[in-house]
Amino acid sequence: MKTPREILMVDDNPADIDLTTEVLARSKADFHVNAVNDGVEAISFLRRQGKYANAPLPDLVVLDLNLPRKNGCEVLSSIKTDPALAKIPVVIFTTSQASNDITRSYNLGANCYLRKPGNLPEFIAVVQSMAQLWLSFASLPQREKR
Amino acid sequence: MAQSRRRSGRARIRAERSFSGGWDRHVRSQLTFGSDIRVSDLAADSLAEREFELSPGQTEPDGTISRHSSDQNGNPQCKLKLRALLVEDEPADVELALRALRDTGLEATADVAQTGDEFAELVRKNSYDVILADYKLPGWNGMESVEILRREGLDIPIILVSGALGELTAVECIKQGAADYVLKDHLARLPESVRRAMREKKLRQDHKRSQEELARSNQELEQFAYVASHDLQEPLRMVATYTQLLAERYQGKLDSDADKYIHYAVDGALRMQKLVQDLLAFSRVGRQGMALESTDCNTVLEVALSNLKVAIQESGAVIRHGLLPVVMADVSQLVQVFQNLIGNAIKFRGSQPTLIQVNAEATAKEWIFSVRDNGIGIAPQQTENVFVIFRRLHTRAEYPGNGIGLSICKKIVEQHGGRIWVTSEPGCGSNFQFTLPIKATIQHR
């Protein structure tokens, strides 16, 4: 049996996590959404620290910028400067349209920057396209066993 | 009363003694002819900054209250202290002028300037309530002091106190900025002239203050609109997406009332979202600086039309345009102006096929752009209202919208140094026109 694609969603808004999970559940592919609510948790999850000792290595990180404790840019920077994590695609998924947020994210190694749409049809379209592109169409490096 | 009379008596003696001591040219400009020594100590404290209220009794700095003095006719006059600068070479005339003031309760301390350099130095060093200037002085004339004040950025009323000048010269002096002109033969007019000049100065200052206050509160309001609309977006996004999710999942599974209620909630959330976005766009104009560049309006129109592609196709509107000029403008703002105007022309179309004409013509100073349609038009009494934010002339059921579009156009055009207006014949169409300067003179905020 094929293992599900693991997505780590880092967002402090449970409504966005639920909605994203709901939209991904509709697609035919098998996704598993792991959600954490702040930047420190995200890093613990990725480094399998503490309660995340058995966490899977995600195939995709969906990262909000405005996060408590450790903000999105810091998380992004930690991922992209860690050889064990750097190749995981990171999609920034945020309400910010500020051009300096966009530039900074790409400079730090973000693979894609998406704005959270304000209405359901667009939200569905964006989340489905994101999952399809990064988890079906894109060729990604071989996953390391862990 | 007795105290005040005694004090003014002493003052007169002091002033006379000063003159009897002779007129040495060197010390002249530094001499203070004080009617009361304490007054001169105070003189730097500009009168205009204190409340210029002609109250019957004024509290002195030492806590005593000075009562009315009386003029020759026994009329009570309000006692006021002021610091004057006299541009005068005749000591006798200086004394006459001061006496004329004192007779009506204006206690003036005065410095005297005889040359332009002395004058400039004194106005730089001290603050004066009023300047009394003779017109003809050896080597310069009193009107040159107007120029010096302007250069120093000082607002001090100048009253010309002079022999007969002739009407033309007098009018010219007033035009150049003198507050008044008093003949030396009619010094009785001087006190009222001084009082009026100071009242006017106070009004000018009050006006300036309220202008500044208005600008500041406008800026605060814009800041508020920006922050509010920005922060409203996030919770609104939740309401909009989740009511839509409710609709999607439960439409037809509850009862018809539930369907209707969900529809209201979704519709309300989406409208509010549009409102917040437009409000944000409105408050951005002016908040963000303009990126002025040489802008081809033909390209601007093309972009606007491509943004309106769906509306144009659905309405079947035909848009014709002449050759448009290149202007100095912020491209994205100008696109917004064209887009809002043409979008409105489509939205408020009539029953016949929609025809919209975009043109520009040059006058000596500005380009006049016009967006003319054959739509439903606007009642004449409403042609100003349409530019007021949130002002709508139709119900939402007739025409959707939130009444922000044209107010954005107005803000953008005015920020570019232009004007916008509309002429219309109800039932026949509207012609929205706006100007942009040919030489970009931008109104800085």
Beta bridge partners of A21: none
Chain A residues inside the 8 Å CB shell of B237:
95, 116, 118
CB atoms within 10 A of CB B237: 21
- CB within 8 Å of B288: residues ≥ 6 apart: none
* Cross-chain residue pair B238–A15, CB shorter than 8 Å: yes
Render B4-64 in DSSP notation, one character per residue: HHHHHHHHHHHHHHHHHT---HHHHTT--B-SSHHHHHHTTS-GGGS-----SSEE-TTS-
Is A119 in contact with B241 (Cβ distance < 8 A)? Answer: yes
How far is it, in rounded angstroms, from Cα A129 to Cα B1? Answer: 93
- Between the CA of residue B204 and those of B195, B198, B211, B329, what are the distances in Å? 14, 10, 10, 35
Non-local (6+) Cβ contacts of A35 within 8 A are A8, A9, A10, A11, A17, A21
**Residue type at B424 in one-letter notation:** S
- The string of DSSP letters for B109-142 reads EEEEE-SHHHHHHHHHHS--SEEEE-SEETTEET
Please give the structure tokens belonging to residue B44: 């730097």
DSSP state of B440: -
Q: Closest to A95 (Cβ–Cβ): which among B234, B244, B245?
A: B234
Partner residue opposite B237 with nearest CB, options A22, A116, A121? A116
Residue B345, min C-alpha distance to chain A (Å): 28
**What is the distance in angstroms between the CA of the first residue and the CA of the last residue of chain A?**
19
Q: Which residues in chain A have Cβ-Cβ distances shorter than 8 Å to B248?
A: 120
Query: Residue B270 class from Cβ within 10 Å (0-12 exposed, 13-18 middle, 19+ buried)?
Result: middle
Structure tokens belonging to residue B148: 């010096």
**How big is the CA angle at A15 (ends A69 and B281), to the nearest 5 degrees?**
85
Euclidean distance between CA atoms B125 and A64, whole angstroms: 61
Both tokens of residue B432?
A: 């929205």
- Give the closest-approach CA distance of B311 to chain A in angstroms: 20
Question: Do A120 and B241 make contact, defined as CB atoms within 8 angstroms?
Answer: yes
Dihedral class, residue B105 (left if φ above 0, else alpha if ψ from -120 to 50, else beta): left
CA distances from B158 to B174, B344, B423 (A): 10, 55, 47
CA angle B90, B92, B94 (to 5 degrees): 75
Say which residues have a Cβ less than 8 Å from residue B2's Cβ, sequence separation at least 6. none
pLDDT at residue number B77: 52
Chain A residue with Cα closest to B270:
A119
Q: Which residues of B touch A15 (CB under 8 A)?
A: 238, 241-242
**Cβ separation of A19 and B245 shorter than 8 Å?**
yes
User: If we measure between CA atoms, which residue out of B233, B246, B248, B242 comes closest to residue A18?
Assistant: B242
Nearest chain B residue to A15 by CA: give it: B238
CA angle B422, B428, B429 (to 5 degrees): 35
Write out the residues of chain A at the interface with chain B, using a CB-CB cutoff of 8 A: 13, 15, 19, 22, 95, 116, 118-121, 123
B54-81: buried (b, 16+ CB within 10 Å) or exposed (e) per residue? eeeebeeeeeeebbebbeeeeeebbbbb
Residues of B in contact with A23 (CB under 8 A): none
Backbone angles phi, psi at A132, to 5 degrees: -65, -45
Structure tokens at A97: 């349209």
The first and second tokens of residue B108, run together, are 């003036």
Contact A119 B242 (CB under 8 A): no
**Closest alpha carbon within chain B to A66:** B234
Locate the chain A residue with the closest alpha carbon to B272.
Answer: A118
CA neighbor of B204 nearest in space, from B132, B149, B154:
B154
Hey, are the CB atoms on B242 and A19 less than 8 Å from each other? yes
The residue assigned the tokens 């519709």 is B267
Radius of gyration of chain B (CA): 34
Which chain B residues touch A22 with a CB distance below 8 Å?
Answer: 245
| Contact at CB, B237 and A19, closer than 8 angstroms | no
Closest CB to B273 among A15, A19, A118: A118
Amino acid at A7: I
Closest CA–CA distance from residue A5 to any residue of chain B (Å): 25
Contact at CB, B245 and A22, closer than 8 angstroms: yes
Beta strands in B215-365 (DSSP E): 292-296, 318-321, 326-330, 355-362
**Structure ipTM:** 0.78
Identify any residues that bridge with A117 across adjacent strands, giving them in sequence order: none
pLDDT tens, position by position, A29-45: 788 899 999 999 999 99
Describe chain A by its helix, strand, coil percentages, rounded to 5: 40, 15, 40
Classify the C-alpha dihedral B276-B278-B283-B288 as positive or negative: positive
| Cα R_g (chain A), whole angstroms | 14
Q: State how far residue B302 is from chain A, nearest Cα, in angstroms.
A: 25
Q: Tell me: the pLDDT tens digits for A101-139?
A: 899 999 999 999 999 998 899 999 999 999 989 988 888
Q: Closest-CA residue in chain A for B274?
A: A118
Q: Which tokens belong to B34? A: 């004080």
Distance, CA of B37 to chain centre: 41
Of B233, B242, B273, the CB nearest to A95: B233
Q: Which of A119, A122, A124, A127 to mutate to test the interface with B (most CBs of B within 10 A)?
A: A119
Please give the pLDDT value at position A145.
Answer: 57
B240 closest CB neighbour out of A13, A22, A118: A118
| Chain A environment of B244 (Cβ under 8 Å) | 119-121
Residue type, B73: N
- Using the Cα atoms of residue B44, residue B46, residue B50 and residue B52 in order, give the sign of their dihedral: positive
Residues of chain B with pLDDT under 50: 1-76, 441-445
Distance CA B304, CA A9 (A): 38
Which tokens belong to B179?
């507050």
CA distance B315 to chain A (A): 25
